[in-house]
Structure 1
Amino acid sequence: MHHRTAVIVGASLSGLMTALTLARIGIHVTLLERSDDTGRTGAALHAPGDLLQRITGLDTSRLPRTLSPGIQTWFAVHAALRAAADADPRIELRQNTTVCRVAQDEQSAWAVTADNRTHHADVIIGADGHRSVVRRHVIPNKPDATFSGYLIWIGIADESAIRPAHWPRNVAFLTSRDDTLLGYPLPGADGSTAAGARRIGWAWYDASNNDLLRATGCLDGTVVRHSLLAPSIPDATYAELARRAHAQFPSPWSDAILDSIDRHAVIGTPIAEYVPDRLVNGRIALVGDAAHVPTPMTGSGFSESLHDAEALATALATTAHTNPSAALAAYEKDRLVSARTLVQSGQGFSRAFARGAL
C-alpha cells in the first residue's frame, strides 16, 4: 500500500464507516468534524447487525439490539461506529473543526479549517452530508442538493408514557390521502427490549408545510439549509399535526405522535435529493450523502454509504494502482452508476408525493 494518509471531512455515519474501512487497510485517518456531538438529530435507519458487525469489527454482544429486523436508531448506530473508531489508533477525531475549503496539487490534497489550519493528506474524502463543502471542489458546477418538495416530521416515544393497548411487531407503512407514515418499534434508550421499556419511532412525510420551511430559513430557494428544530415549530403547527395525527393514524402510532407533540420533541427535516455526475476529482472523493442524496423512502442510504466506504478501501488497497488519483478513479467507476440509480429510484415517489408543492 503506497498511500498512507487520509483526511475525512465529516464524522457522522458515512465518515466513521469510511475511517474504519481505511484504517483497516493501514491508512492513518484524520476525521474533521464541525460539531461536538451535541444537538445531533436522527431517527431510525435500516442497519442489520451483520452490516454493523462487518464495519465495526465488534462482536454482537457489543452492538445495539433491535426489535424490527435491522431497524436501529441513528444514535445507537452512531455510538457503535464511534466506539470502534475511538478504539482504533490509526484514527484521530478532531471535533469542533469546521472545514472551509479543500484543494490539491500533484503531491497532496489538503483541507483548510476555520482556525486557519491546513491538514494535508494523500487523499481527502468528503463525508460531510448533503450540504457538502467538499462537493463544491469535486463538482463545482453542481454543488447543491435540491429540495424534493416535502419534509419528514420525526419523533420517538417511550412505551411507558403511551401505554399502548398492543405492541407492533414490525415496521408499519401507512398512507392517507395526503400523508405517509413509517412507524417502527425500537429498544429502549438503554437497549432494553423488555415490555414496558421499549420505544416507538415514527417518520411522517408531509408536503403541506413548505411555506413554514421557507419562513423559518430551512429553505433558501431550492437549497435545504437546516432542519426545523422543536423550539422553532409554531404552536399552531403542533396543534395542526396533533389534529391530523388523531384523525389519520391508528394506535399505537397516533399515540406516539401525540406524545412527541405534547413534549415538543419533534424535528422537521426537509428532504433533499442529489444525483451525482461524478464522485471524484483527482485526490478528492465523496462518500455517503456528500456523494448521493436519496429520499429516505429508499431505505438504502446507510447500506449504500457502507458500500461506498468498502469500495473506496478496495480501490486504495489495490496494488495495481500507483497513485491516489488512479485509485479514486477506480472507486468512481465502481460506485457512480449505483449511486445515481439509488437516488433515481426514489425520485418517482418524491414527484408523486410532492404533487407540485414546490
Structure 2
Amino acid sequence: MGGTAVVVGGGIGGLAAAIGLRRIGWDVTVVERASTLEDAGAGISLAANGLRALDELGVGEAVRDASRGQYNGGTRTPQGGWLARMDGAALEKAVGTPIMGIPRSTLHRLLRGSLPAESLLIGAEAASVEQIDATTVRVGCGGTVLDADLVVAADGIGSKARSRLFPDHPGPVYGGSTVLRAITEKTIDLPTDFALTWGHGAEFGHIAFPDGRAEWHAVLNLPAGTRFTDPLAELRRRFHTWHSPIPDLLDATRPAAVLHHDINELRTPLPSYTAGRTALLGDAAHAMTPHLGQGACQALEDAVTLASALATEPTVEAALTRYDAERRPRSQAIARAARQAGKMGQQLSHPLAVALRNTAMRLTPSRAATHMILRHHTWLPPQLP
C-alpha cells in the first residue's frame, strides 16, 4: 500500500515519520512552521529502543557515529556521594548498546539529511486539517492546500491538530518543574560520561559529547512561568556549593546559550491516537516528563510502528487501528512511569523523604537498577520493507 502523506511538524518525531513513510513508498511532505531551521536545543540521550528505531529508519549508524556512549556515571548527592552507579558495559551486553548522548541539533540534521529538500515545506503553518471525504484529508497552509491520504500530526505538546480532533481533552498541564539547559561553549574534562545529582527539589545533570563539550541541565521545583533576569547567574548562586564538575560546567557556558522551559505533560491520557485519517505522534500524542529520558525514543517508536502498519495492513484505516493498539498502551504506561520517577527523584523536597530515598538507592544492587532500566529499553521495532 502506497499513498501521499502530510506530516505536520519538523521535529524529531515528524522527521522520523517522514523517513519511515518514504521507506515504504509513500510520497511525503513535511510542513514546518519555523521559517528557518536553526537546529536549536541542547542535548539528548538515546536509549536502545530509540536507537533500534533509528536503525530501522536507516540512520542509526550515522547517529551512533555522532554520539558518545554513556559507559560510566550514575546518580549523586550534592556533596558528591554516589547513590547509584550505572554500568554502561553491562547495559550494552544486555541490549546491544549503551545509552548514547548527542546534541539535539546534530540529530535533527541527520534526520533532515535523509529527506529530499523538496519534501520539506518550511515556514508554513498548518492552519487547518480537514477530512473532506472518506479517503482524503486536506491541509491548509496559508496559500498552499495539500490533499493527502494521511496526515501525521507531530506538532508537539501544544498540538493544534490534537485540540481539533479531541476538543474535550484538557490538554497539557504543568508538571511541577522547570528546566534550564545549555551546551558548553568550551570543552571540559569530565570524570563521567553522564551524571545526575539530586538535591531537595532540584536536579543537575550532564551528558558528555564526542567533541569534548557537554550538555547540562538544571531542573527546579518552581511555579510555572518563573523566569530569571540572568539565568546563568541564578544557577551559579543555587549550585555553587554542589560537587565538581557542576560549577565548571556553568563556567564553560555562554549566558546567551541557556534555554529555559517549563516541563509540561499530557497527564490525562488520550482515548485514541487516531481520528479519521489523522494520526497523532510523539509529544502531540503522549507528551511526558523527561525523568526517564524516553520522550524522543517514544516518538521514534511511533514513527517506525506507523510505517510498518501502513506497509503491511490492507487499508489506511486498518493500519491506523493497529498503530493505536500498539502504541497507546506502551507510551502511556511509560508516561506514567516517568511522572512517578520524577516524584520519587528530582521533585522530592522534604528532608526525611529525600533521606529515605537516598538510603533505598544505596541499598539497591546495581543489577536490580540495570533491570529497572531495561524494562523500557528492550523494545524491538517491526521490520520495514
| Category of TM-score, reference length = shorter chain | 0.7 to 0.9
Partner of 1:150: 177
Distance in 1 (alpha carbons) for counterparts of 2:143 and 2:168: 26
Structure 1 residues 60, 34: CA separation in 2 closer, same or farther (over 3 Å shift)?
closer
Deviation of the 1:212 alpha carbon: 2.1
Q: Does 1:251 align with 2:244?
A: yes
Partner of 2:163: 136
89, 107, 122: which one pairs with 1:77? 107
Which residue is equivalent to 1:170?
193
The match for 1:295 is 289
Q: Which amino acid aligns with 1:316?
A: L
Among 272, 276, 284, the alignment partner of 2:270 is 276
Partner of 1:347: 339
Q: Does the 8 Å CA contact 1:34/1:99 hold for their aligned counterparts?
A: yes
Question: Where does residue 279 of structure 2 map in the other structure?
Answer: 285
Residue of structure 2 equivalent to 1:224? none
Tell me whether 1:234 sits opposite 2:239 in the alignment: no
Counterparts of 1:169-248 in structure 2, within 5 Å, are 169-188=192-211, 198-208=212-222, 210-212=224-226, 233-235=228-230, 237-248=231-242
Q: Kindly state the Cα deviation for residue 202 of structure 1 after the two structures are TM-superposed.
A: 0.6
Alignment of 1:44-123 (within 5 A): 44-47=43-46, 51-57=53-59, 59-60=61-62, 63-68=65-70, 69-86=99-116, 92-104=119-131, 105-113=133-141, 115-123=142-150
- Report deviation, 1:208: 2.6
Could you say which residue in structure 1 is the equivalent of 2:375? none
> How much does 1:52 deviate?
3.4
Distance 1:66 1:23, change over 3 A: same
Aligned amino acid, residue 240 of structure 1: E
- What is the aligned partner in structure 1 of residue 16 from structure 2? 17
- Is contact 1:29–1:92 with CA below 8 Å preserved after alignment? yes
Alpha carbons of structure 1 residues 211 and 17: separation in structure 2 relative to 1, 3 Å: closer
- Residue by residue over 1:107-165, the C-alpha shift from the partner in whole angstroms, topping out at 9 and shown as x without a partner, is 3012112x2422110011001111111112332211621111111110111444xx54x
Give me the whole-angstrom Cα distance separating, in 2, the residues matched to 1:184 and 1:92. 33
- Consecutive unaligned residues of structure 2, counting only runs of 5 or more, are 71-98, 350-385
Q: TM-score, normalized by length of structure 2?
A: 0.75
Aligned counterpart in structure 1 of residue 304 of structure 2, from 282, 302, 310: 310
5+ long unaligned stretches in structure 1: 189-197, 214-232
Deviation, structure 1 residue 75 = 0.9
Q: Retained in 2: the 8 A contact 1:56–1:80?
A: no
Q: Secondary structure at the match of 1:148?
A: strand
Q: Could you give the per-residue CA deviations for residues 77-121 of structure 1, whole angstroms, max 9, x where no partner exists?
A: 11111111137xxx71100011112110213012112x2422110
The amino acid across from 1:184 in the alignment is I
In the alignment, residue 337 of structure 2 is paired with which amino acid? S
In structure 2, the residue matched to 1:328 is 320
**Partners of 2:271 and 2:205 in 1: how far apart?**
31
- SS of the equivalent of 2:130 reads strand
Deviation at 1:315, TM superposition (A): 1.3
Q: 1 CA distance for matches of 2:104 and 2:287?
A: 17
What SS does the corresponding residue of 2:114 show, helix, strand or coil? helix
Aligned pairs, how many?
Answer: 314
- Inter-CA distance 211–18: structure 2 relative to 1 (3 Å threshold): closer
Please say if residues 103 and 209 of structure 2, whose CA atoms lie closer than 8 Å, have aligned partners that are also in contact: yes
CA distance, structure 2, for counterparts of residue 332 and residue 159 of structure 1: 44
**Residues in 2 aligned to 1:57 and 1:150: alpha-carbon distance in whole angstroms:** 33
Equivalent in the alignment of 2:381: none
User: What CA distance in whole angstroms lies between the structure 2 residues aligned with 1:33 and 1:27?
Assistant: 19
Partners of 2:5 and 2:150 within 8 A in 1: yes
Equivalent residues of 1:168, 1:185 under 8 A apart: no
Matched AA of 2:159: S
Aligned CA distance change for structure 1 residues 212 and 266 (closer, same or farther; 3 Å): same
Tell me whether 293-302 or 140-149 shows the greater mean CA deviation.
140-149
Give the drift of 1:312: 0.6
Q: Is the contact between residue 54 and residue 300 of structure 2 (CA under 8 Å) also seen in structure 1?
A: no
Kept after mapping to 2: 8 A contact 1:181/1:204 = yes
Q: Determine what percentage of the aligned residue pairs are the same residue.
A: 28
Query: Residue 192 of structure 1 aligns with which residue?
Result: none
